[in-house]
Amino acid sequence: MEKLRVFLFGFLVFFIVGCSSSFHVDVKENAVLEYGEKPDYSLLFDKDNSDEDVSVKEVKNFDSKKTGEQEITVIFTNEDEKTKEETVKVTVKDTKKPEIKLKKDKLEITKGDKFDAAANIESVKDPVDGDIKKSDDQKLTKNGYFIASDVDVKKAGSYTVKITAYDVNGNKAESSYKVSVKAKPQEPEVQQPVNQTPTQTNTNNGYSSNQGSTSSNTNAPVVNNIPAPKPSTNTGSTSSQNTQKPQQPAVTKKVCPNGNEPIDPNLPCDAWYSGGYDQCYKDASGNIITFPTAEEANKWAYNALLNDSSFDIYAGYVTTPIGKNDNSHYHGVTFY
Protein backbone atom coordinates (compact mmCIF):
# COMPACT_ATOMS: atom_id res chain seq x y z
CA MET A 1 0.00 0.00 0.00
CA GLU A 2 2.84 2.35 0.85
CA LYS A 3 4.51 1.64 -2.48
CA LEU A 4 1.31 2.41 -4.34
CA ARG A 5 0.99 5.69 -2.49
CA VAL A 6 4.56 6.69 -3.41
CA PHE A 7 3.99 5.75 -7.03
CA LEU A 8 0.83 7.79 -7.30
CA PHE A 9 2.50 10.80 -5.69
CA GLY A 10 5.44 10.58 -8.09
CA PHE A 11 3.13 10.27 -11.05
CA LEU A 12 1.13 13.27 -9.92
CA VAL A 13 4.29 15.38 -9.51
CA PHE A 14 5.52 14.32 -12.92
CA PHE A 15 2.15 15.14 -14.48
CA ILE A 16 1.94 18.59 -12.88
CA VAL A 17 5.54 19.49 -13.70
CA GLY A 18 5.26 18.11 -17.20
CA CYS A 19 2.09 20.02 -17.98
CA SER A 20 3.19 23.30 -16.45
CA SER A 21 6.89 23.19 -17.33
CA SER A 22 8.13 25.94 -19.59
CA PHE A 23 9.35 25.40 -23.11
CA HIS A 24 13.01 25.54 -24.03
CA VAL A 25 14.63 28.76 -25.37
CA ASP A 26 18.32 29.10 -26.13
CA VAL A 27 18.95 32.80 -25.42
CA LYS A 28 21.82 34.58 -27.18
CA GLU A 29 24.05 36.80 -25.11
CA ASN A 30 25.67 40.03 -26.28
CA ALA A 31 23.58 40.36 -29.42
CA VAL A 32 24.46 43.52 -31.39
CA LEU A 33 21.47 45.70 -32.34
CA GLU A 34 21.46 48.73 -34.67
CA TYR A 35 21.06 52.23 -33.24
CA GLY A 36 17.62 53.79 -33.75
CA GLU A 37 16.00 50.64 -35.15
CA LYS A 38 13.48 48.14 -33.85
CA PRO A 39 15.40 45.10 -32.53
CA ASP A 40 15.83 42.14 -34.84
CA TYR A 41 14.14 39.39 -32.79
CA SER A 42 16.04 36.64 -34.59
CA LEU A 43 19.23 37.93 -32.94
CA LEU A 44 17.87 37.44 -29.41
CA PHE A 45 17.73 33.61 -29.39
CA ASP A 46 19.07 30.60 -31.24
CA LYS A 47 16.10 29.30 -33.18
CA ASP A 48 17.79 26.05 -34.16
CA ASN A 49 18.49 25.08 -30.55
CA SER A 50 15.12 26.24 -29.16
CA ASP A 51 11.73 24.59 -29.33
CA GLU A 52 10.32 24.73 -32.84
CA ASP A 53 7.32 26.97 -32.14
CA VAL A 54 9.11 29.58 -30.02
CA SER A 55 8.84 33.27 -30.93
CA VAL A 56 9.35 36.69 -29.28
CA LYS A 57 6.15 38.19 -27.93
CA GLU A 58 7.47 41.39 -26.35
CA VAL A 59 10.69 43.29 -25.53
CA LYS A 60 10.88 45.54 -22.49
CA ASN A 61 13.41 48.07 -21.17
CA PHE A 62 15.07 48.55 -24.55
CA ASP A 63 16.28 52.01 -25.67
CA SER A 64 17.29 52.01 -29.35
CA LYS A 65 18.78 55.53 -29.04
CA LYS A 66 21.21 54.55 -26.28
CA THR A 67 24.48 53.07 -27.49
CA GLY A 68 26.45 50.54 -25.48
CA GLU A 69 25.42 47.55 -23.36
CA GLN A 70 21.87 47.14 -22.07
CA GLU A 71 19.98 44.48 -20.13
CA ILE A 72 16.56 44.00 -21.68
CA THR A 73 13.60 41.81 -20.80
CA VAL A 74 12.37 39.49 -23.53
CA ILE A 75 9.08 37.59 -23.27
CA PHE A 76 9.00 34.45 -25.40
CA THR A 77 5.89 32.45 -26.31
CA ASN A 78 4.93 29.26 -28.13
CA GLU A 79 1.93 27.87 -29.98
CA ASP A 80 0.26 26.91 -26.70
CA GLU A 81 0.48 30.58 -25.70
CA LYS A 82 2.73 29.75 -22.82
CA THR A 83 5.21 32.50 -22.00
CA LYS A 84 8.71 32.65 -20.65
CA GLU A 85 10.56 35.76 -19.51
CA GLU A 86 14.32 36.05 -19.97
CA THR A 87 16.87 38.78 -19.24
CA VAL A 88 19.13 39.29 -22.23
CA LYS A 89 22.29 41.38 -22.54
CA VAL A 90 22.56 43.30 -25.82
CA THR A 91 24.87 45.95 -27.28
CA VAL A 92 23.52 48.87 -29.32
CA LYS A 93 25.87 50.22 -32.01
CA ASP A 94 25.50 53.04 -34.52
CA THR A 95 27.13 51.82 -37.72
CA LYS A 96 25.55 54.24 -40.21
CA LYS A 97 27.40 57.37 -41.32
CA PRO A 98 25.81 60.75 -42.10
CA GLU A 99 24.72 61.37 -45.69
CA ILE A 100 26.01 64.44 -47.57
CA LYS A 101 24.25 65.41 -50.80
CA LEU A 102 25.69 68.08 -53.14
CA LYS A 103 23.90 69.95 -55.91
CA LYS A 104 26.91 69.79 -58.24
CA ASP A 105 30.29 68.07 -58.20
CA LYS A 106 31.98 71.08 -59.84
CA LEU A 107 31.27 74.82 -59.95
CA GLU A 108 32.62 77.52 -62.22
CA ILE A 109 32.64 81.19 -61.25
CA THR A 110 34.28 84.34 -62.57
CA LYS A 111 37.08 86.13 -60.80
CA GLY A 112 35.61 88.71 -58.44
CA ASP A 113 32.23 86.96 -58.01
CA LYS A 114 30.78 86.43 -54.55
CA PHE A 115 31.01 82.80 -53.42
CA ASP A 116 29.08 80.90 -50.73
CA ALA A 117 30.48 77.40 -50.20
CA ALA A 118 27.34 76.22 -48.36
CA ALA A 119 25.04 77.14 -51.26
CA ASN A 120 26.11 74.01 -53.17
CA ILE A 121 25.13 71.67 -50.32
CA GLU A 122 21.69 70.14 -50.82
CA SER A 123 21.48 68.37 -47.45
CA VAL A 124 23.48 66.84 -44.60
CA LYS A 125 21.46 64.22 -42.73
CA ASP A 126 21.78 61.29 -40.35
CA PRO A 127 19.72 58.21 -41.37
CA VAL A 128 18.20 58.07 -37.88
CA ASP A 129 18.32 61.55 -36.35
CA GLY A 130 17.66 63.62 -39.48
CA ASP A 131 19.19 67.00 -40.40
CA ILE A 132 22.67 67.86 -39.13
CA LYS A 133 23.37 71.55 -38.50
CA LYS A 134 26.31 73.53 -39.87
CA SER A 135 28.99 74.61 -37.39
CA ASP A 136 31.87 77.07 -37.54
CA ASP A 137 33.93 74.83 -35.23
CA GLN A 138 36.62 73.20 -37.41
CA LYS A 139 37.50 70.86 -34.51
CA LEU A 140 33.97 69.47 -34.19
CA THR A 141 33.75 65.67 -33.67
CA LYS A 142 30.05 65.13 -32.86
CA ASN A 143 26.61 66.31 -34.00
CA GLY A 144 27.37 68.87 -36.73
CA TYR A 145 29.22 69.58 -39.95
CA PHE A 146 31.77 72.16 -41.05
CA ILE A 147 33.20 73.40 -44.35
CA ALA A 148 36.86 73.81 -45.27
CA SER A 149 37.49 75.91 -48.37
CA ASP A 150 40.58 77.39 -50.03
CA VAL A 151 38.63 79.29 -52.71
CA ASP A 152 40.15 82.70 -53.53
CA VAL A 153 37.75 84.66 -55.75
CA LYS A 154 40.47 87.24 -56.40
CA LYS A 155 42.73 84.72 -58.12
CA ALA A 156 41.93 82.49 -61.09
CA GLY A 157 42.57 78.79 -60.49
CA SER A 158 41.15 75.47 -59.34
CA TYR A 159 40.08 75.05 -55.71
CA THR A 160 38.48 72.44 -53.43
CA VAL A 161 35.63 72.72 -50.93
CA LYS A 162 35.46 69.90 -48.35
CA ILE A 163 32.49 69.08 -46.11
CA THR A 164 33.00 66.98 -42.95
CA ALA A 165 29.96 65.75 -41.00
CA TYR A 166 29.55 63.93 -37.67
CA ASP A 167 26.40 62.40 -36.18
CA VAL A 168 25.53 62.39 -32.47
CA ASN A 169 27.57 59.24 -31.94
CA GLY A 170 30.68 60.46 -33.74
CA ASN A 171 30.27 58.63 -37.06
CA LYS A 172 32.11 60.64 -39.72
CA ALA A 173 31.35 61.32 -43.38
CA GLU A 174 33.21 63.50 -45.90
CA SER A 175 32.45 64.91 -49.32
CA SER A 176 34.04 67.55 -51.56
CA TYR A 177 33.56 69.46 -54.79
CA LYS A 178 35.76 71.49 -57.12
CA VAL A 179 35.50 75.22 -57.81
CA SER A 180 37.09 76.74 -60.91
CA VAL A 181 37.65 80.50 -60.76
CA LYS A 182 37.94 81.86 -64.30
CA ALA A 183 39.62 85.12 -65.25
CA LYS A 184 37.37 87.90 -66.45
CA PRO A 185 37.06 88.14 -70.25
CA GLN A 186 39.69 90.43 -71.80
CA GLU A 187 38.21 93.85 -72.37
CA PRO A 188 38.99 95.47 -75.75
CA GLU A 189 41.67 98.14 -75.62
CA VAL A 190 40.07 101.55 -75.52
CA GLN A 191 41.76 104.32 -77.52
CA GLN A 192 41.19 107.70 -75.97
CA PRO A 193 40.41 110.52 -78.43
CA VAL A 194 43.45 112.67 -79.19
CA ASN A 195 43.00 116.43 -79.63
CA GLN A 196 45.34 117.38 -82.45
CA THR A 197 46.57 120.97 -82.42
CA PRO A 198 46.95 122.49 -85.85
CA THR A 199 50.61 123.15 -86.62
CA GLN A 200 51.38 126.13 -88.78
CA THR A 201 54.45 126.01 -90.92
CA ASN A 202 55.72 129.20 -92.46
CA THR A 203 57.98 128.94 -95.42
CA ASN A 204 59.62 132.11 -96.67
CA ASN A 205 60.59 131.81 -100.30
CA GLY A 206 61.07 135.56 -101.03
CA TYR A 207 63.88 137.99 -100.56
CA SER A 208 64.17 141.68 -99.57
CA SER A 209 65.08 144.18 -102.23
CA ASN A 210 65.91 146.63 -99.49
CA GLN A 211 68.25 144.49 -97.45
CA GLY A 212 69.18 141.80 -99.91
CA SER A 213 68.87 139.19 -97.21
CA THR A 214 66.17 137.19 -95.26
CA SER A 215 65.69 136.92 -91.55
CA SER A 216 63.55 134.71 -89.30
CA ASN A 217 62.63 134.74 -85.61
CA THR A 218 63.08 131.28 -84.15
CA ASN A 219 61.95 132.47 -80.72
CA ALA A 220 58.39 133.43 -81.71
CA PRO A 221 55.90 133.26 -78.77
CA VAL A 222 53.43 130.31 -78.52
CA VAL A 223 49.78 130.98 -77.65
CA ASN A 224 47.36 128.10 -77.04
CA ASN A 225 49.88 125.65 -78.47
CA ILE A 226 49.87 127.58 -81.81
CA PRO A 227 53.16 129.23 -82.81
CA ALA A 228 52.79 132.92 -83.66
CA PRO A 229 53.66 133.93 -87.24
CA LYS A 230 57.32 134.58 -87.68
CA PRO A 231 58.09 138.22 -88.43
CA SER A 232 59.88 138.88 -91.67
CA THR A 233 61.50 141.94 -93.26
CA ASN A 234 61.10 140.48 -96.71
CA THR A 235 59.34 142.82 -99.13
CA GLY A 236 59.22 140.18 -101.81
CA SER A 237 56.47 137.64 -102.23
CA THR A 238 55.81 135.14 -99.34
CA SER A 239 53.70 132.03 -99.04
CA SER A 240 52.48 129.86 -96.10
CA GLN A 241 51.21 126.29 -95.95
CA ASN A 242 49.11 124.94 -93.05
CA THR A 243 48.80 121.19 -92.37
CA GLN A 244 46.55 119.41 -89.81
CA LYS A 245 46.45 115.70 -88.79
CA PRO A 246 43.00 114.04 -88.77
CA GLN A 247 41.47 113.18 -85.36
CA GLN A 248 41.10 109.52 -84.37
CA PRO A 249 37.51 108.41 -83.59
CA ALA A 250 36.88 107.66 -79.87
CA VAL A 251 36.06 104.07 -78.90
CA THR A 252 33.30 104.08 -76.26
CA LYS A 253 32.87 101.36 -73.61
CA LYS A 254 29.58 99.47 -73.23
CA VAL A 255 27.79 100.63 -70.09
CA CYS A 256 24.73 98.97 -68.56
CA PRO A 257 21.69 100.95 -67.30
CA ASN A 258 22.96 100.64 -63.72
CA GLY A 259 26.20 102.38 -64.70
CA ASN A 260 28.38 99.25 -64.55
CA GLU A 261 30.32 97.70 -67.40
CA PRO A 262 29.10 94.20 -68.33
CA ILE A 263 31.23 91.25 -67.27
CA ASP A 264 30.80 89.74 -70.72
CA PRO A 265 30.26 92.43 -73.39
CA ASN A 266 28.75 89.82 -75.69
CA LEU A 267 25.85 89.09 -73.31
CA PRO A 268 22.87 91.29 -72.38
CA CYS A 269 23.35 93.35 -69.25
CA ASP A 270 20.42 91.66 -67.46
CA ALA A 271 21.57 88.09 -68.25
CA TRP A 272 22.17 85.87 -65.20
CA TYR A 273 25.88 85.22 -65.00
CA SER A 274 27.09 83.81 -61.67
CA GLY A 275 25.96 81.63 -58.77
CA GLY A 276 23.45 78.78 -58.77
CA TYR A 277 20.74 80.77 -60.51
CA ASP A 278 19.59 77.78 -62.56
CA GLN A 279 18.50 76.04 -59.32
CA CYS A 280 16.64 79.03 -57.85
CA TYR A 281 12.87 79.10 -57.38
CA LYS A 282 10.95 80.81 -60.19
CA ASP A 283 7.48 82.32 -60.35
CA ALA A 284 4.71 81.25 -62.73
CA SER A 285 6.26 83.38 -65.51
CA GLY A 286 9.62 81.64 -65.17
CA ASN A 287 11.34 84.60 -63.52
CA ILE A 288 13.70 84.00 -60.59
CA ILE A 289 12.34 85.42 -57.33
CA THR A 290 15.18 87.55 -55.97
CA PHE A 291 15.93 89.46 -52.78
CA PRO A 292 18.56 92.11 -51.99
CA THR A 293 19.81 90.25 -48.89
CA ALA A 294 20.09 86.67 -47.67
CA GLU A 295 18.03 87.61 -44.59
CA GLU A 296 15.06 88.68 -46.71
CA ALA A 297 15.34 85.56 -48.87
CA ASN A 298 15.43 83.37 -45.76
CA LYS A 299 12.38 85.09 -44.25
CA TRP A 300 10.33 84.66 -47.42
CA ALA A 301 11.27 80.97 -47.84
CA TYR A 302 10.53 80.20 -44.20
CA ASN A 303 7.06 81.75 -44.41
CA ALA A 304 6.37 79.97 -47.70
CA LEU A 305 7.14 76.54 -46.21
CA LEU A 306 5.16 77.35 -43.08
CA ASN A 307 2.02 78.94 -44.56
CA ASP A 308 1.72 77.96 -48.24
CA SER A 309 0.46 74.41 -48.84
CA SER A 310 1.90 74.43 -52.38
CA PHE A 311 5.35 74.24 -50.79
CA ASP A 312 4.53 71.05 -48.86
CA ILE A 313 6.42 69.06 -51.51
CA TYR A 314 9.70 70.51 -50.20
CA ALA A 315 11.62 69.42 -47.11
CA GLY A 316 13.78 72.54 -46.76
CA TYR A 317 15.66 75.30 -48.55
CA VAL A 318 18.93 77.23 -48.86
CA THR A 319 19.53 80.82 -49.87
CA THR A 320 21.76 81.23 -52.92
CA PRO A 321 23.86 84.29 -53.93
CA ILE A 322 23.47 85.02 -57.65
CA GLY A 323 24.60 87.79 -60.01
CA LYS A 324 23.82 89.34 -63.38
CA ASN A 325 26.10 90.34 -66.22
CA ASP A 326 25.83 93.99 -65.15
CA ASN A 327 27.66 93.19 -61.86
CA SER A 328 24.48 93.45 -59.80
CA HIS A 329 24.08 90.90 -57.00
CA TYR A 330 21.01 89.27 -55.47
CA HIS A 331 19.90 86.31 -53.37
CA GLY A 332 17.59 83.56 -54.55
CA VAL A 333 16.10 80.52 -52.82
CA THR A 334 16.67 76.86 -53.72
CA PHE A 335 14.11 74.41 -52.29
CA TYR A 336 14.82 70.71 -51.90
Report field, pTM of the whole predicted structure over 0.75 = no
Q: Which residues contact 237 (CB under 8 A, 6 or more apart)?
A: 205, 206
Topology of domain 22-93 in CATH is: Immunoglobulin-like (2.60.40)
Domain boundaries, the chain: 22-93, 254-336
Which residues touch 140 (CB under 8 Å, ≥6 apart)?
146, 164, 166
Of 106, 60, 62, 102, residue with least CA distance to 85: 60
Q: What is the distance, to the nearest Å, from the Cα of residue 105 to the centroid of all Cα atoms in its chain?
A: 10
Measuring CA to CA, how many Å separate 313 from each of 259, 305, 306, 309? 41, 9, 12, 8
Q: What is the pLDDT along the chain (336 residues), one digit of tens a residue?
A: 565 565 555 555 444 444 444 789 999 888 899 999 988 888 899 988 889 889 999 999 999 999 999 999 999 999 888 999 989 999 999 999 999 999 999 999 999 999 999 999 999 999 999 999 999 999 999 999 999 999 999 999 999 999 999 999 999 999 999 999 999 887 666 555 555 555 444 444 444 444 444 444 445 454 444 555 555 555 554 444 555 666 666 667 788 998 899 998 888 999 998 888 889 999 988 899 999 998 899 899 989 988 898 888 988 899 999 999 898 999 999 998
Three-class SS of residue 280?
coil
